[in-house]
């Protein structure tokens, strides 16, 4: 598609919060891939200055806190989640009451004008159903409204809903044309009803810095050698990005309050099996429920992982309550829901 102009501590529910306080940990996730119709090999999203991204993020109602870079990717920790920028891929993940879709057209304009990227190779917009959709900005209160907005920007849009639409589900909007033709995969694990003793660590009251929490929790060991950028919010909450060679990344965001605890883990790193990685993540956070999505195209070595018995289905201490497999354009999507088994101890015990 061508771009046209246009220590166990109980988390205090009331810490820093008025009566009725709620924060939506569920993130909106936008991933865009670009190309130049002129075949310009020098076109590069990383040529966009930080100040320009900061100006763009004002549309979303969030700001940049810090950044880390290597030879292939720049990762920004945001006041509400993360931004990842590589040569031709843009990933924006935002939580709370952010207005992510308000940034889509400005992004397209910016990359065309600054980088020469005038072709949208692929687009993915997704999120779990919100805990409190009534508190979201107008455009984000229903997926139907989000799709209507995206349909005004992208041609050949395709919208999907997976899971139990009256309980836990996951929404996806993409464009219905084959786009990314290099190995690509994204694993996302979304955890709720998280162990309160774990969540209590990610507060200022616990007394550790973000760097100390990253090590104490075990996050540091998920990808040894990754360059990590982490931040602990006031009075609670935690975000981190990890970057690796060849554009690899992982990111974790934590909303620790007990009545709406939420943790997300996401990575695009290709591995032979995600089972061990997901098990490590579950051992760290010990959620009561989690949902998992694996999105991989035909070039990815994990594309057929769902065909391997047990790799995406069996996790000690959890019962799978739903699983759906979906094939669209050149991607396979696996969506699964799990809940803690009453007759099994939580992971890590």
DSSP 298: T
Instruction: State pLDDT tens for residues 315-325.
Output: 889 999 999 99
What is each CA distance from 47 to 73, 111, 208, 276, in whole angstroms?
12, 10, 36, 37
Query: Catalytic residue numbers?
Result: 24, 27, 81, 95, 239, 253
- Is the confidence at residue 340, as pLDDT, over 70? yes
DSSP 163: E
Band of the pLDDT at 7, cuts 50, 70, 90?
A: very low
Band of the pLDDT at 270, cuts 50, 70, 90?
A: confident
Distance of CA 138 to the CA centre of its chain: 22
Q: Could you please report the per-residue DSSP string of 64-126? A: EEEEEE-SSEEEEEETTEEEEEESSEEEEEE-TT--GGGGHHHHHHHHHHHH---EEEEEEEE
- Predicted confidence at residue 229, as pLDDT, reads 98
**Tokens at 205, concatenated:** 């009251």
- Is the confidence at residue 309, as pLDDT, over 80? no
- Is the confidence at residue 10, as pLDDT, over 70? no
Lowest mean pLDDT among 194-203, 235-244, 326-335: 326-335
* Of 155 and 306, the one with more pLDDT: 155
Give the mean pLDDT of 8-25: 60
**Tokens at 275, concatenated:** 């089972």
Instruction: State pLDDT tens for residues 135-178.
Output: 999 999 999 999 999 999 999 999 999 998 899 999 999 999 87
Instruction: State pLDDT tens for residues 56-78.
Output: 999 999 999 999 999 999 999 99
- Please state, for a pLDDT cut of 70, what percent of the chain lies above it: 90
- Predicted confidence at residue 143, as pLDDT, reads 97
- Angle made by CA atoms 257, 263, 267, in degrees to the nearest 5: 160
| Longest distance between any two alpha carbons in the chain, whole Å | 60
Contact at 8 Å (CB) between 23 and 255?
Answer: yes
Tell me what the pLDDT averaged over the chain comes to: 90
Q: Which residues contact 276 (CB under 8 A, 6 or more apart)?
A: none
Beta strand 185-194 with 227-232: parallel, antiparallel or unpaired?
unpaired
Lowest mean pLDDT among 34-48, 140-154, 185-199: 34-48
- Predicted confidence at residue 103, as pLDDT, reads 97
- Predicted confidence at residue 286, as pLDDT, reads 96
- Predicted confidence at residue 29, as pLDDT, reads 98
- Predicted confidence at residue 191, as pLDDT, reads 98
- Is the confidence at residue 305, as pLDDT, over 70? no
Band of the pLDDT at 9, cuts 50, 70, 90?
A: very low
Give the mean pLDDT of 37-44: 87
What is each CA distance from 69 to 66, 73, 243, in whole angstroms?
11, 6, 8
In sequence order, which ranges of the chain are alpha helices (DSSP H)? 50-57, 104-115, 143-151, 196-199, 210-217, 275-285
- Predicted confidence at residue 312, as pLDDT, reads 56
- Is the confidence at residue 94, as pLDDT, over 70? yes
> Can you tell me the distance from the alpha carbon of 56 to that of 7, in angstroms, rounded to the nearest whole number?
40
């Amino acid at each position: 598609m061508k771009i046209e102009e246009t220590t166990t501590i109980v988390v205090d529910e009331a810490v820093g919060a008025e009566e009725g306080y709620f924060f939506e940990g569920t993130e909106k996730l936008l991933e865009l891939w670009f190309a130049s119709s002129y075949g310009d090999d020098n076109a590069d999203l990383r040529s966009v200055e930080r100040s320009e991204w900061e100006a763009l993020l004002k549309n979303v109602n969030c700001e940049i806190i810090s950044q880390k870079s290597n030879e292939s990717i720049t990762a920004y920790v945001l006041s509400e989640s993360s931004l990842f920028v590589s040569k031709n891929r843009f990933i924006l993940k935002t939580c709370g009451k952010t207005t992510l879709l308000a940034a889509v057209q400005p992004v397209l304009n910016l990359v065309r004008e600054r980088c020469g990227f005038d072709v949208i190779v692929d687009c993915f917009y997704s999120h779990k159903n919100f805990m409190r959709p009534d508190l979201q900005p107008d455009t984000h209160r229903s997926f139907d409204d989000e799709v209507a907005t995206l349909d005004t920007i992208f041609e050949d849009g395709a919208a999907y809903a997976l899971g139990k639409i009256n309980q836990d589900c996951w929404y996806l909007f993409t464009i219905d044309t084959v786009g990314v033709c290099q190995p690509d995969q994204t694993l996302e694990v979304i955890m709720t009803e998280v162990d309160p003793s774990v969540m209590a660590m990610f507060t200022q009251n616990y007394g550790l810095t973000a760097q100390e929490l990253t090590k104490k929790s075990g996050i540091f060991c998920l990808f040894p050698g990754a360059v990590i950028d982490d931040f602990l919010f006031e009075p609670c909450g935690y975000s981190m990005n990890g970057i690796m060679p060849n554009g690899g990344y992982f990111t974790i965001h934590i909303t620790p309050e007990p009545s709406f605890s939420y943790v997300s883990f996401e990575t695009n790193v290709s591995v032979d099996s995600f089972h061990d990685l997901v098990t490590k993540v579950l051992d760290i956070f010990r959620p009561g429920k989690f949902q998992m999505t694996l999105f991989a195209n035909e070039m990815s070595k994990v594309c057929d992982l769902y065909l391997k018995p047990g790799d995406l289905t069996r996790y000690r201490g959890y019962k799978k309550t739903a699983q759906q497999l979906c094939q669209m354009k050149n991607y396979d999507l696996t969506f699964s829901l799990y809940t803690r088994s009453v007759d099994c101890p939580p992971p890590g015990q």
